[in-house]
Amino acid sequence: MSVYVLRRLLQSLLVLVAMSVIVFIGVYAVGDPVEILISPDADQLERERAIQALGLDRPLWEQYLVFVQRALQGDLGRSFVFNEPALRLILQKMPATLELAFGAMVIAILVGLPLGLYAGLRPESPGARLIMAGSILGFSLPTFWVGLMLIMVFAVQLGWLPSTGRGETAALFGLHWSFLTANGLSHLLMPAINLALFKISLVIRLTRSGVRETMLMDYVKFARAKGLSPARVTFVHVFKNILIPVVTVVGLELGSTIAFSVVTESVFAWPGMGKLIIDSINALDRPVIVAYLMIIVLMFIVINLVVDILYSVLDPRVRLEGSR
């Protein structure tokens, strides 16, 4: 067990190093680092001083070591636009993104599970066909366009929900959250639904195929033969067994939800990390771009690592294969 965890940890570290090299080369070698790291407003003297200070006159591998050394101390450069440490800027925006992503996950499960259950129990009914057709649409619809249409219908035409922004926030654990106030919740609802659409389709399909497979199992047949009520068979015997894989996949999708929130945040002007990175790319605020990429890569590596270790705890086959 510990050997497996150690191996996995080592692999993650390797990936992290590889990604830092890619980001480093992307910023320092593909583009002109002077142009990237020094504000375009700087004059000639300032530029030369900055080149010296940043060590841009030294060989590339030495520059990489300096970059890593500073990154380890939490120094990923200062934003040109906000003149603040890039890392702090991103960490400030993180709660908004996390709140949106978790909101989307909750909606995906609350909507997707019952619909998938119904489609799995009555696969031939018109309702189930409608649900499945809807899930194809959910996979095909471009997220950003659906977001625009949601704004058009519910904010512009009907005026039920606010179109953009985060609304009022309340403090919890020293951070600001929208879901604690009624106004904030009304701002959160539409972006969260928008981000959830794709995941709802995913949960519907997973649940449906899970139900259809489980219904054929011997223990379900036995429970029915015993004369248990259909409701008890469905909710105790079937439901319990499909819940584990569904929740696992949804958990795994957390990372991609955070990544795709870039789109939703831009549509709804939700002030999270995703909107920050798009604004930074458009403003050529490269230190923030580098910091965002490094943080999100780190986040992904940690999520993948945790999921893999959890798997190996739950399923001995995984770690046996790893030690072979």
Residue 310 as a binder of other proteins (CB under 8 A): the answer is: no
Site string for other proteins, 89-128 (x = CB under 8 A): ----------------------------------------
Q: In angstroms, what is the minimal distance from the CB of 304 to other proteins? A: 6
Residue 27 as a binder of other proteins (CB under 8 A): the answer is: yes
Determine the Cα–Cα distance for residues 30 and 247; give it in Å rounded to an integer. 41
Residue 130 as a binder of other proteins (CB under 8 A): the answer is: no
Determine the Cα–Cα distance for residues 56 and 231; give it in Å rounded to an integer. 69
Residue 60 as a binder of other proteins (CB under 8 A): the answer is: no
**175 strand-pairing partners:** 172
**Residues 176-195, interacting with other proteins (CB under 8 A):** none
Phi, psi of 176 (to 5 degrees): -100, 130
Determine the Cα–Cα distance for residues 245 and 202; give it in Å rounded to an integer. 12
Contacting residue, 10, 17, 65, 149, with other proteins by CB under 8 A: 149
Determine the Cα–Cα distance for residues 135 and 117; give it in Å rounded to an integer. 14
Contacting residue, 9, 281, 302, 310, with other proteins by CB under 8 A: 281
Residue 160 as a binder of other proteins (CB under 8 A): the answer is: no
Which span sits near other proteins by CB under 8 A: 1-9, 27-35, 69-77, 237-245? 27-35
Which span sits near other proteins by CB under 8 A: 22-30, 83-91, 103-111, 211-219? 22-30
Determine the Cα–Cα distance for residues 231 and 249; give it in Å rounded to an integer. 25
**172 strand-pairing partners:** 175
Q: Write the DSSP assignment of 21-54 as a string of letters.
A: HHHHHIIIIIS-HHHHHS-TT--HHHHHHHHHHH
Residue 249 as a binder of other proteins (CB under 8 A): the answer is: no
Q: What stretches of 163-283 show up as alpha helix (H) in DSSP?
A: 182-214, 218-225, 230-232, 239-252, 254-268, 273-282
Nearer to other proteins, 73 or 282 (CB): 282
Which span sits near other proteins by CB under 8 A: 41-49, 226-234, 242-250, 261-269? 261-269
Residue 18 as a binder of other proteins (CB under 8 A): the answer is: yes
Determine the Cα–Cα distance for residues 124 and 127; give it in Å rounded to an integer. 8
- Residues in contact with other proteins, counted by CB under 8 A, come to a total of 42
> Of 20, 65, 39, which Cα lies nearest the Cα of 287?
39
Q: Say if CB 132 and CB 208 are below 8 A apart.
A: yes
Contacting residue, 90, 119, 196, 277, with other proteins by CB under 8 A: 277
Binding residues (CB under 8 A) for other proteins: these are 15, 18, 23, 26-27, 30-31, 136-137, 139-145, 148-149, 151-152, 155-157, 163, 255-256, 259-260, 262-263, 266-267, 277-278, 281-282, 289, 293, 296-297, 300, 304
